[in-house]
A and B are shown apart, each in its own frame.
Chain A
């Protein structure tokens, strides 16, 4: 009798219901995809995909075009993220400064970048500006991306700085620190914990936006995918594979930052 009671409780318990719901949703998704692909009358050839990721033979592990493209994407993303944070920080400080010119400059930069499409900026920078400045396609892509994401990052950083209590500024001033010292010793060390989640979002957005650099013939993950498709016509297989690679990179970043946050917030009472 008691066993049945326990069993009944387990059956109606919240977690068990959640698991059932999860599997129902999973089943629905699977059904949707399988019927959709059947209705397409598309000839799936998944077995041809692996060679474009990597080959394993007597030469050992040789990365295929897609993994080479991923490497380029990661290089672009890493460099751009570094520059994004620098641009964002400088712009945020300009924006909050008492100087009218500096804050106007920051405002014009942020508003003009945020209100124009990234693709147009990329094409404009590549075909119009970069021949004048004499920088190559790769650097043009990195600069365009970091200027674009930097505009968003500056708003995040500004909000983070403004969230610090006014009293902190006053006490810093009374101990004789100047503005820059106050920023670097008092404000930013307190603000950066609040910045981590939105900046993570920005990094993931950066990686996704970097797909656009394929339009200026940089052989990133998206471009390599396009080239493979144009040679093999494995359209859906390759695009799905590319999407999964982007997804895994984004999830990996999110996971790393989650672990980092755990570490930073250790011993802090929420």
Chain B
């Protein structure tokens, strides 16, 4: 029985060699198929986005400008590729990512568990919150969320946004009217058909400043805080690792903070849009 030991040992060694070869093959295949590799090969990063003031807007020249546009442009620049923006309706943006219409969503997307079931998120690079703007006559004397939480109150929001779910969570009694973009929801409010519009800050405050005769901000501070991340397809570790470290890098630089300040706390860009 003295020959048994070396036989068993050599079988083990064989398995080990084959196994490690196989796993390195799988690893290189994963790296090959990563969105990161695909983007580098193509030389273009396709970014899914939707217009949200001031995350992404169209300037007078028809160019996209805004906080997210700056972020996406810088990200592509640091990867050494060009950026291509793919404007998509917000309500269909996740399916469009899943079917490969673009590589990544950079559009102020809030990190939510229900979304995370379908896509992977990077670490947060920004935090936003929900805010509310109300009609002066219809919502006279409303000062808290409880005032809005009653069955004779109607709230408008944008379909498929965290604003729509926040309105449902915080004001379950109120009836909800959902539109495909904020402009329609605001128009509904201007016509006095709804009591208030819920949207990500700072849009509600901007609207109140623009139409001081009709609209007001009933609650000064944001009533939710939510992390914002990049969304990519599932099963791709490489791109997530790259994005996370890129975020750490530009955060340490102070660049993110400075951009955030420019787009959210100043109005220096107001003359660039129509």
Contact = CB atoms under 8 A, between A and B. Distances in A.
A131 B268 CA distance: 35
B114 A231 contact: yes
B118 interface: yes
B179 interface: yes
A158 to B, nearest CB: 37
Interface string B165-206: 100000000000111100010011001110000000000000
Interface string A83-111: 00000000000000000000000000000
Indicate the member of A216, A226, A229, A230 with the most B CB atoms within 10 Å: A230
Interface size class for chain B? 20 to 34
Interface size class for chain A? 10 to 19
Nearest to A223: B178
B91 A229 contact: yes
A233 B95 contact: yes
A217 B179 contact: yes
Given A127-B187, A127-B191, A215 B180 contact: yes
Interface string A152-172: 000000000000000000000
Contacts of B91: 226, 229-230
Contacts of B187: 127
A217 B191 contact: no
Given A131-B193, A217-B177, A233 B164 contact: no
Given A215-B180, A233-B117, A131 B191 contact: yes
Interface in B99-148: 99, 114-115, 117-118
A231 to B, nearest CB: 7
Interface of B: 91-92, 94-95, 98-99, 114-115, 117-118, 156, 159-160, 164-165, 177-180, 184, 187-188, 191-193
Contacts of B92: 235
Given A42-B98, A233-B115, A236-B95, A227 B191 contact: no
- Chain A at the B interface: SS class: helix
A131 B177 CA distance: 16
Contacts of B114: 231-233
A40 interface: yes
Contact of A40 (B99, B117, B191): B99
15 contacts: A41-B98, A127-B187, A127-B188, A127-B191, A137-B193, A215-B184, A217-B177, A217-B179, A226-B91, A226-B178, A227-B159, A229-B95, A232-B114, A235-B95, A235-B98
